[in-house]
Structure 1
Amino acid sequence: MNFQQLRIIRETVRKNFNLTEVANALFTSQSGVSKHILDLEDELGVELFVRKGRRLLGLTEPGKELLAMAERILLETKNIKQLGKQFSSSDKGQLTIATTHTQARYALPHVVSAFKKKYPNVHLALHQGSPTEIVQMLIEGKADFGIATESLDAVPDLVTFPYYSWHHALVAPNEHPLTKSKRVSLGDLEEYPLVTYHEGFTGRQSIDDAFTKSGISPDIVMSALDADVIKTYVELGLGVGIIASMAYQPERDTNLTLLDSEHLFSTNTTKIAIRKGYFLRGFAYDFIELCSPKLTKSHIQESLNPNIDADID
């Protein structure tokens, strides 16, 4: 048994049992992948995959057990490498953060600026994606931690920490009739077309819930992944925009008016998520603490590894 065989088992599941894609991901040949699988099955004396002819359809019960063990072994192998880097070059390396456009564009700039001043030799990689893509990156070990509002809490393999809370806000062109209202209601919005986020992004569910509870069917004429796109089309007169409050910047959004709307929608909480058992470099803990001073290294380590003493600087 070797690490390559374990990687192949893990990657086979990730690639939906397509051995061609597994071979491409691991920079090897399909025949080599097949041989590694057969050799491991011969060594263990059990079949790891359900087959139909030469096709792999799924995992057998022993295969499922082995996959869980392989995931743990490969994670700890990566942790050992991270441990070595932490002590050999504590202020150098790469920090990879998976997040959404809204967080990267509006919540993180001041944190990134402070972090880069402290760690000029750390390469910071911000990967922007959907909450589902962020979860996948964390599970696959492609990101050190993730930042998003949706999806993170529902994954057992992740530990989440509250970053900050926020509300949605209404924006309209400066001459729009709603700008003359002292207090906008959901009923008022029923009279106008709306532009907001796609389902599953930036608290969209709380927007839908608010309208549903009020018995109102909003006329959402357009949805987008990020606030910049929403604001652009609101400026063009396509409709009233519903965006994350931090996405409105008066010095830049001079053609838009921010409407008092905090009372219309429930509070959203953006979270930081880390895979359980994942070893974070010291500078990763510092970045998280810059996000929220309450999220100290000791607090995070207790949640990630409750049975391990937090004694590595």
Structure 2
Amino acid sequence: MKFRHGKENEYEKITLQEIAKKLDLSPTTVSRAISGNGRIGSETKDKVFQFIKENQYVPNIIEKTEKKSKNICVLLPGEEGHAQLPYFQEILLSVYDCFSARNYGVLLVKTTTTNIQELKSLVEQQKIDGAVFTRTMEGDMAIRYLEKQKVPFVVIGSWPDKQVIQVDFDQEGGCKDLTSVLFRMNIKKIACVCGDAGHIVTQSRLKGIRAAFREAGVPMEEDLLYTGAVYPSIVEKDVAELLKKDVECLLCLDDNICMSVLNALNKNRVKIPQDIKVVSCYGGRLLANSYPPVTCLEFDIKEIGGVASKKLLDAINGKADYNKIILGYNVLIKDSTM
């Protein structure tokens, strides 16, 4: 194993054997301390990692051997409770089915916009051949990091760089059609309840909604656009404010937000659809048994997981295809807007 340190493109290389010599340890001991394999005392491990940290050494992943680890990792949201949402679990199972059938192990990693330490650890120990992103966010550190380390990856979602392998649903087109359906039902005063504005999917869905407003010649009231609804307590507060504004419809940007909206309306004894309509830009398993059934967009999550897996397998085998794949959707009209 080789290590490097110094400024970008001006790395000084050092071998594991040289590190062992500097620490007066055997190369085997240093190797085991770094990999975590074998029985090595905590004092020795601390000594090795302290030396590596002080000298800013990192494994030279770019020069790793051609031997495959036969593992990939799936990146899940690190925010509390998000990784357990059915959407991410369904993607995970779809990716697992695809890769396990080809004798790959599937590892799980949680990341946030500011913390990718678990991912770095896997890459530096050469434990993965590639990665699947289950979402995309502005300024995603993990994407930049894997690009720099030349580790193959695919994103389920959209990304501005065309040199990133991408598979997404037609979020913009779907949300435009869904909103246009509401206008055709003569529903005009629509409020949007959105999650994190830094999520690319939120931006894509809002873009489609705005396009529908423009096409219908209906002004979109910015004071009816609520972002940051990432927890039920925030959604409950937003709903209370919107009820005072006499909106006709609450357009939720995902199923998790929609469930919180339904609960808040029920708590306030607001009847759906008699008093207010409710719509979701995604109607996954979380809304499958909601009452009343919610008008929504339907996406095939198993399909997108399978397509993303195939794209990643091709990239791992040196056949990367950077043509973005856009999958379709269905608009389902249900009782919540009748």
- For normalisation by structure 1, the TM-score amounts to 0.46
Relative to total residues, which structure has the larger strand share, 1 or 2?
1
- For normalisation by structure 2, the TM-score amounts to 0.43
